[in-house]
Chain A
Amino acid sequence: MKGRHFSDVLVLGSGPAGCTAAIYAARASRSTRLIDGGQPGGQLTVTTDVENYPGFAKAVQGPWLMEQMREQVTSVGASVTADEIVSIDLSRRPFRCVGDSGVEYFGATLIIATGASARWLGLESELQYRGFGVSACATCDGFFYRNKSVAVIGGGNSAVEEAIYLTNHASHVTLIHRRDEFRAERILQQRLFQNPKIKVVWDTAVETIVGVDDPRSVTGLDLVNVKTGVRSRIDIDGVFIAIGHSPNTSLFRGQVATDAHGYLVTEGKSTATSVPGVFAAGDVQDSIYRQAVTAAGTGCMSALEADRFLVVHGHPVVGHALQVAG
C-alpha cells in the first residue's frame, strides 16, 4: 500500500478541460485532486503560438498558457499530482483509480479529461525510423532539421501549424495531404499558401518511409496519388506525422460507454457518461470541435455537474470554506 487519497472530485488529465474542471470544482468548495497524466499540460504543450484562445490580444505560447492554467488550479486550492492512472474501478463509489506510482486515488465523482494522443500512420517503416527522422512533435524535433528538407503528413490545424513552424528551421517543407482541401482554419491556410518554403502535395498518401542504416536515418518517402494511382518518390531528411488524434480511452473500455471511434459518449447537452457520477470533458469526448476553448467549456460543465451530483447524493460541502459570518 503506497497511500490513499480521497476527494470529492477527482480529475484525470491536465489540459484545458482538466484544469478548468479542477478550477470550478475547487471554487465550489469541493476537495479536488487533479492527476496530471502522461503528458502534463496536454496537447498545447507541444504547440507554439495560440491565437484563438480568448483573453489574449496577442498570440501566447501554448506551454506558457498551460503553465498559467496549472498555477490557477493550485492557487484556487485544488491539488495537482504528478502520476498516471493505470487502472480504475468504476463499479462502486467512491471510484477508485490506481496510479503508476501505486498510490490509490478515490473520488466521490470522477471527471475524465484524458484528452487525445497523436495518431501514427501505422506503417512498419514508420516504426523503424521513429526517432531517426520520423517524429510527431515539430516543436520538439524541428531543431534537428536546420537547412534540411522535411515533409509533414496531414491536413488539419496541427499539420498546417507544424508545416509553418518547421519553416523556421528547414529549408523546404512539403505538406502531403490525402484529400484536395485542408480542414485547417482558413487564416492558417492563407499563411501556408503565402509561405515560399512550403509546397503542398494534394490527394497523396505515404506508402513507405524510405531510409538507410548506419546511421539510421530517413532519406525519402514513397507516395501514391489516391486519385490516379501514380507512384512517386521524394527526397526528404525528416517526416512529421500530423494526421489527427485518437481519444485516450483505453483505460475506461468496458466500464464507460464509448462510440465506434473510442470517444466517451456523453448524454445530451451534459458531460454525464454512462456511469452516474463519472463525467467526461475535452477531446476525450469530442470528435468534432477539439479546441482548447471547447475543452475548457466542457471542463467547466463537468465540474458544475459533478457538484450537482454530490449535492443530490448527499455530499454537503464541508470544511472551512462556507462559513457564514454572524
Chain B
Amino acid sequence: MGQTADDTNFDQIIAQDASPVLVDFWAPWCKPCHALGPILDEAAAASPERFRLVKVNADECATLAKRFNVRSLPTLVILSAGEPVARKIGSLSRSALDQWLNDSLPPS
C-alpha cells in the first residue's frame, strides 16, 4: 500500500534506501486522487524492486506541497537520489501509469 510520509518524516523515509521513490500527493476531498490510489498500490505491489511508493496528504503537509511546487491534485513525482526527475498531473489508467514509469524511472 506504500508508506505514508508527512512534513516531519519525509526526508527520513526517502533516505531509507537508494531505490527511486514515487511520491503521490493527494487529499481526502480529491475524487480523482481516490481513483488513482488503488492503481498506484497495484503498480507498486507488482514491482516492489523498481520503486517505493510514498503517499503525502497535501492537506496536512503544506511544507512538502510547497517544496515540490504542487498546485494540482493528484500530482505524482518521481525522486531519484532524493531529487525530482519526473512529474505527472492528474489521474491515470494503469497502462498509462506503467508507460510513464517505464519512461521516467531511472535504469536500475
Enumerate chain A interface residues (CB-CB to B < 8 A): 38-41, 45-46, 63, 82, 84, 86, 100-101, 130-133, 135, 137, 139-141, 143-144, 215-217, 238
Contacts and interface: CB of A to CB of B under 8 A. Distances in A.
B32 A46 contact: yes
Contact of B73 (A39, A133, A141): A141
29 contacts: A38-B91, A39-B32, A39-B91, A40-B31, A41-B31, A45-B31, A46-B31, A46-B32, A82-B38, A86-B95, A100-B93, A101-B94, A130-B72, A131-B71, A131-B72, A131-B87, A131-B89, A132-B69, A132-B71, A132-B72, A137-B30, A137-B73, A140-B27, A140-B33, A141-B71, A143-B29, A143-B59, A144-B71, A217-B71
Contacts of B90: 131
B30 A140 contact: yes
A133, A141, A215 interface centre (most CB from chain B within 10 Å): A141
B104 to A, nearest CB: 15
Nearest to B73: A140
Contact of B31 (A63, A100, A135, A238): A63
A41 B93 CA distance: 15
Given A82-B38, A131-B89, A141 B32 contact: no
Interface string B17-51: 00000000001011111010010000000000000
| Closest CB pairs A-B (n = 3) | A131-B89, A45-B31, A131-B72
Nearest to A40: B35
Contact of A100 (B59, B69, B95): B95
A132 B73 CA distance: 11
Contacts of A40: 31, 35
Interface in B79-108: 87, 89-91, 93-95
Contacts of A217: 69, 71
A35 to B, nearest CB: 12
B56 interface: no
